[in-house]
Amino acid sequence: MEHTPLRVAIVGTGMIGAVHRRAARDAGADVVGVLGSSPSRSADFAERWGTASAYGSFEQVLADRPDVVQICTPNGSHHDYALRAIRAGLNVVCEKPLAITASEALELVEAVEAAGVVATIPFAYRYHPLVRELRARRIAGEFGDIHLVHGSYLQDWLLDPLASSWRVDAALGGPSRAFADVGSHWCDLAEFISGERFTAVSAVTTIAYPTRPAPSGPSFGGAGSSADAPRLEVTTEDTATATFRTASGGVGNTVISQVSAGRKNRLWVEVDGSRGSAVFDQEAPETVWLGHDRGSTILNRGEGDVSSDQARLNLVPAGHPMGYRDAFSAFLADTYAAVRGEAPDGLPTFADGLRAARIIDAVLESASSSSWVDIQED
């Protein structure tokens, strides 16, 4: 059915703001305005992105009454922007982490309930068709009882000791970096595919370099830095390893890093059960590995008995590669469907963002106390 396009405002013009803008258009929205870190940056991006409005302030965003506000600013500002938008009765998409503490994330969830708005978080990897295929097969019992969930999310952009950005500055990025930025994706995807719930964690974190150049450039975006820039003391982790207990008595394990040479977005989840195993690899999302009693097979997207959940997300015929951009726009399309009153299955909401914030808090607490920490439930 054709709908009148929803009016979307984008707050933040960095790398992820650009992803939101493109995906919003792919999902059929009208991107009506942009707020950057300064009026001139708003004007610059309004021209580049072809939006009608270049907002001078967040008040102007609220006054424009867009159908959805998409928040893509540094982590430390998410809570404030999201809360103001929710209290103004606007629907929100907010980047992860929702807030830099679990208690602030809980405040957002409560505000969403009070306001009755739609509020989602881009755990967009849930929208790869083969992720849905594995989830559907797990629900149908193909893998049996899940006793082990493991994998990693590895990047290398902070291997360079001169690399810096707001993400490295705890005042802007929050007390967790690698785990909040990409470990949160791993946990969400691992629980989504496996259906397991992590109940407690034992974590170790490390920092590769004690100082980095202080980030320069616009606080919403740029990764600028130089050798003679003032030094910033680094207090957030470059690596985290975490072992989890699962609700059904199994175990989970992940390795999270932003200092692993050659790794870009190596998000990888393996689920091992009593009847079979499965692997999803984000850098090769058109195939999954299946382990079974006869050995192993590679399943291509679109092949075999395609689940209805996979079929819904298969936008192009098998053999024409789909990927990150399609997953992101499918996530936004479901967000917009929810704004229109539908209830799409598997849509990541602020409740999932709170879940991630609680896991992040527990990881940091475990690492600093060298002990097992329970992950808070409702």
Residue numbers at the binding site for ligand INS (CB under 6 A): 181-182, 265
Residues 6+ apart with CB under 8 A from 225: 162, 163, 164, 165, 212, 213, 214, 215, 216
Question: Judged by CB, which is closer to ligand INS: 69, or 256?
Answer: 256
In the bound state with ligand INS, the residue whose beta carbon lies nearer, of 182 and 201, is 182
Residues 6 or more apart in contact with residue 265 via CB below 8 angstroms: 153, 155, 182, 282, 283
Rounded CA-CA distance 72/45 in Å is: 14
Strands 277-281 and 266-273: antiparallel
Count of residues making up the chain: 378
Rounded to a whole number of angstroms, the minimum distance from the CB of residue 43 to ligand INS is 26
Distance in Å, CB of 127 to ligand INS, minimum: 12
Distances (CA, A) of 102 to 200, 251, 355: 15, 23, 8
Minimum gap (Å) between residue 16 Cβ and ligand INS: 6
**Structure-block tokens of residue 333:** 């399309």
Q: Which is nearer to ligand INS, 53 or 254 (CB)?
A: 254
Nearest residue to the partner ligand INS, using Cβ: 181
Write down the least CB distance from residue 177 to ligand INS, Å. 10
Q: How near is the Cβ of 265 to ligand INS at its closest, in Å?
A: 5
Fill in the DSSP letter of residue 75: G
Least distance in angstroms from the C-beta of 22 to ligand INS:
13
Q: Where are the beta strands (DSSP E) in the chain?
A: 7-11, 30-35, 53-54, 68-71, 91-94, 119-120, 146-154, 198-206, 211-213, 231-233, 239-246, 251-257, 266-273, 277-281, 287-292, 295-300, 373-374
Angle (CA) 133 138 140, round 5°: 95
Q: Closer CB to ligand INS, residue 199 or residue 265?
A: 265
**Integer CA distances (angstroms), 372 to 101, 200, 207, 244, in order:** 19, 7, 21, 9
Nearer to ligand INS, 12 or 36 (CB): 12
What is d(CA 7, CA 236) in angstroms, rounded to the nearest whole number? 37
Q: Which is nearer to ligand INS, 181 or 361 (CB)?
A: 181
Smallest separation, CB 189 to ligand INS (Å): 11
- Between residues 108 and 178, which has the closer beta carbon with respect to ligand INS? 178
Cα dihedral across residues 148, 299, 332, 156: positive or negative? positive
**Measured from the CB atom, is 143 or 328 closer to ligand INS?**
328
Tell the smallest beta-carbon distance from residue 267 to ligand INS (Å).
8
